Structure 1
């Protein structure tokens, strides 16, 4: 009897192992059949969309798609969205709607712009152009309240510098920056990129614009390389020197240059266009209509005093600040001297404002500038406002940032915006900026530029 029981137990044990092995084999076979595709290719430019498709799932199977990456400071970003496959076991993010997760609805690039940091008040930083932004996409079994088993994975390399674009660090005279030159013989329109006001130097926007057919010089104002760590005033002479350096480049064909800015550098761009010759087109993004924070000088004489801010009206217990609440009113009688005399400018302006910008009252500043130009009989401007967009309008498809630490105020600040609307605004304005510069800078070149190696808008 004991021998019979032992044989039966062995049989049952073997049967259990066989069933488990069969299930594991079937499961492995199922997951190996799942395919995650990034089209038209897994490597693309940072500002290009990618089509995400999944195949090989069961009919109507529910799965979770995830995206994760790390910025150059080591901060991890991630997103997730749950989808139901169609009858053929396929998911296409250009067609299908997310049921839940970091976003809902049909959002082809939602996994990218909805990525969030793993810590509060962290802004996505990708300032160096030579290293790609690497994003891992993956498909997981849908398991509530935990990450299900991975069924497939694909890596998206999002390049910041296109093939053939030349990158040259600049350390000439007083200028510290990086020059980007497109492939081909040219001639190309020239742009001065004032991306940051702080000590860092961001190459992302400049390198991407070079891939679109512009010679771009991005410059630091302080705190970079051997420059002073802090400054008490800004000198237009520095930007005049930068413009002259830019115009001397072999592939530059335009007589003048374009200037692109954002935030504090917006008022610097206004002053450059108003006081310096040869500025054909200026893009102002979410800045101020007055000279702010630091007085502006030219040839050792002060041109404009600084419009200051007052943080006393912020709640003492507030974890984050809203910058637009503590800037002084530039239209107040005691502050009017800080207003930039943009009616002096001969070139064209593109004013870009986010209606939910919490750092500057950008829309109100655009209205001030439009009124001022019209009052002086000028029509050399166009403007665009984006409802639901926040402060940092950048090249598209990067993670949206609701708040981050601000070095000037020494605390986290809110940038504003709703993620979906902000992402859509970035896509639209990025194309508009390129069209604006091509329209108003290329006219001086005299012939069609050599853009055989440059990707279209």
Structure 2
């Protein structure tokens, strides 16, 4: 059940807190936050509070000074202090931090909206001044008419999201790394934007990767075939979108399996990592193993793993490189320059050089200074550190919050444009509306 809060809930009959154009929107859409009815030049503190699917609480705050008419507009007025400073229209969202250290914003179930309570308080600073007004922003992961169907067929474990209408729709396979398990957020939002999306657990039936010693490309082949057979699929080929470890899996899917027309690689590696890759009962790529002795500890209790991956260009590791020159589809490489999980920017540059060497021009690349590892759909809380299932402890992901948030906005639009360009249908994907 969706909880709907009206656009305006005033604790004072004079102060007005408005969320425009509506208090109900999609997760990846901005809202305009405006205040009215304050005293001329009055200083107030804006707060945002929320919790994720695991009950972890997040919050942010920012101090604002009203203009001569007693109004504040976060689209144009600067924060004077708090979780961020300067003009940041969506700063209260991306600057939210967990109340418990090293927690990732776990928003995984597409049917549950992200509820953010905005409030305005007297005065400035950390003290909780008298609340003057509040409003709840209901941020949906699925637009009206999008269908969500769990998939348990053969080895597949996933969820299929289909846009409203009969199609034809571009088809996308979402490989999202969340401890190897299933994540729905990105897939649901892509479906809302007009793509038919299947998101799958990376390890199939064994969603938590317990006792996994190898990964089988056959599983992703099964996923592709399932996706291609869905009613409404209109693209000639399928797209693949990835992040982190699933990046090298996406490269392998594009390089070894037919029918992949567009692959989005986000902050992955250029070589097969962690576990050997098998296909049709044979190993096709060995695993590039991590070097735990190179883990760097920090005062926060989180560690830096960036230097734990051996050189992908060393002679002894070349067999693990994914032969992306075999791919017939197009690539979009996206790398965060401050990724502290591993050196994504170097891997991207290596892959660009490799494709150039083989006379290929089927790629585009983009890098983001100041961004960290977890580049996700925009307007969620920035994650500086969280538990890494493979490392077995919290890790630093890197990035500066403001730059990271801007990178997410830019990349999200670029991903959609990339898929629309290379997964052509008879008609263009419909504009999605709530």
TM-score, with structure 2 as normaliser: 0.95
Runs of 5+ in structure 2 lacking a partner?
1-9
Report how far residue 231 of structure 1 moved. Answer: 1.1
Query: In structure 2, what is the equivalent of residue 372 of structure 1?
Result: 354
Tell whether the 8 Å contact from 2:179 to 2:388 is kept in structure 1 after alignment: no
Residue 97 in structure 1 maps to residue 78 in structure 2 = yes
Query: In structure 2, what is the equivalent of residue 290 of structure 1?
Result: 271
Query: In structure 2, what is the equivalent of residue 164 of structure 1?
Result: 145
- Give the secondary structure class of the aligned counterpart of 1:244: helix
The alpha-carbon distance between structure 1 residues 438 and 143, as it changes in their structure 2 partners (threshold 3 A), is closer
Tell whether the 8 Å contact from 2:195 to 2:429 is kept in structure 1 after alignment: no
| Distance in 1 of aligned mates of 2:116 and 2:192 | 21
The alpha-carbon distance between structure 1 residues 292 and 145, as it changes in their structure 2 partners (threshold 3 A), is closer
Report how far residue 315 of structure 1 moved. Answer: 4.6
Residue 221 in structure 1 maps to residue 202 in structure 2 = yes
| Distance in 1 of aligned mates of 2:79 and 2:68 | 16
- Give the secondary structure class of the aligned counterpart of 2:145: coil
| Distance in 2 of aligned mates of 1:206 and 1:173 | 21
The alpha-carbon distance between structure 1 residues 273 and 142, as it changes in their structure 2 partners (threshold 3 A), is same
Listed one character per residue, the Cα deviations across residues 62-99 of structure 1 (whole Å, up to 9, x for unaligned) are 00000000011111000000000001100000010000
- Give the secondary structure class of the aligned counterpart of 1:59: coil
Mapping of 1:4-43 within 5 angstroms?
31-43=12-24
Runs of 5+ in structure 1 lacking a partner?
1-28
Residue 233 in structure 1 maps to residue 214 in structure 2 = yes
Query: In structure 1, what is the equivalent of residue 5 of structure 2?
Result: none
Mapping of 1:223-262 within 5 angstroms?
229-262=210-243
* Match among 93, 109, 132 for residue 151 of structure 1: 132
CA RMSD, aligned part only? 1.7
Listed one character per residue, the Cα deviations across residues 25-63 of structure 1 (whole Å, up to 9, x for unaligned) are xxxx99221010000000000000000000000011000
Larger Rg: 1
Query: In structure 2, what is the equivalent of residue 23 of structure 1?
Result: none
The structure with the greater share of residues assigned to helix is 1
Tell whether the 8 Å contact from 2:42 to 2:65 is kept in structure 1 after alignment: yes
- Give the secondary structure class of the aligned counterpart of 1:180: strand
Query: In structure 1, what is the equivalent of residue 422 of structure 2?
Result: 440
Report how far residue 199 of structure 1 moved. Answer: 3.9
Report how far residue 407 of structure 1 moved. Answer: 1.1
Tell whether the 8 Å contact from 1:47 to 1:395 is kept in structure 2 after alignment: yes
* Match among 281, 293, 309 for residue 312 of structure 1: 293
| Distance in 2 of aligned mates of 1:391 and 1:252 | 32
Tell whether the 8 Å contact from 1:282 to 1:348 is kept in structure 2 after alignment: yes
Query: In structure 1, what is the equivalent of residue 405 of structure 2?
Result: 423
Listed one character per residue, the Cα deviations across residues 222-265 of structure 1 (whole Å, up to 9, x for unaligned) are 37678863311000100001000000011001121000000000
Report how far residue 449 of structure 1 moved. Answer: 3.8
Query: In structure 1, what is the equivalent of residue 395 of structure 2?
Result: 413
Report how far residue 330 of structure 1 moved. Answer: 1.1
Report how far residue 184 of structure 1 moved. Answer: 1.1
The alpha-carbon distance between structure 1 residues 283 and 58, as it changes in their structure 2 partners (threshold 3 A), is same
TM-score, with structure 1 as normaliser: 0.90
Query: In structure 1, what is the equivalent of residue 4 of structure 2?
Result: none
The alpha-carbon distance between structure 1 residues 450 and 394, as it changes in their structure 2 partners (threshold 3 A), is closer
Tell whether the 8 Å contact from 2:150 to 2:160 is kept in structure 1 after alignment: yes
Residue 342 in structure 1 maps to residue 324 in structure 2 = yes
Residue 207 in structure 1 maps to residue 183 in structure 2 = no
| Distance in 2 of aligned mates of 1:292 and 1:195 | 15
Listed one character per residue, the Cα deviations across residues 359-400 of structure 1 (whole Å, up to 9, x for unaligned) are 020000011101110111101000000000000000000000
Residue 397 in structure 1 maps to residue 376 in structure 2 = no
Mapping of 1:100-115 within 5 angstroms?
100-115=81-96
| Distance in 2 of aligned mates of 1:216 and 1:289 | 25
- Give the secondary structure class of the aligned counterpart of 1:282: strand
Query: In structure 1, what is the equivalent of residue 340 of structure 2?
Result: 358
Tell whether the 8 Å contact from 2:182 to 2:207 is kept in structure 1 after alignment: no
The structure with the greater share of residues assigned to strand is 2
- Give the secondary structure class of the aligned counterpart of 1:294: coil
* Match among 427, 430, 433 for residue 451 of structure 1: 430
The alpha-carbon distance between structure 1 residues 143 and 373, as it changes in their structure 2 partners (threshold 3 A), is closer
Tell whether the 8 Å contact from 1:124 to 1:401 is kept in structure 2 after alignment: yes
Residue 118 in structure 1 maps to residue 99 in structure 2 = yes
The alpha-carbon distance between structure 1 residues 295 and 349, as it changes in their structure 2 partners (threshold 3 A), is same
Query: In structure 2, what is the equivalent of residue 324 of structure 1?
Result: 306
| Distance in 1 of aligned mates of 2:126 and 2:306 | 39
Count the aligned residue pairs: 424
Tell whether the 8 Å contact from 1:189 to 1:254 is kept in structure 2 after alignment: yes
Report how far residue 144 of structure 1 moved. Answer: 4.3
- Give the secondary structure class of the aligned counterpart of 1:105: coil
Which stretches of structure 1, 4 residues or more, deviate above 3 A after TM superposition?
223-230, 315-318
Report how far residue 316 of structure 1 moved. Answer: 6.3
The alpha-carbon distance between structure 1 residues 225 and 157, as it changes in their structure 2 partners (threshold 3 A), is farther
Tell whether the 8 Å contact from 1:61 to 1:85 is kept in structure 2 after alignment: yes
The alpha-carbon distance between structure 1 residues 435 and 450, as it changes in their structure 2 partners (threshold 3 A), is closer
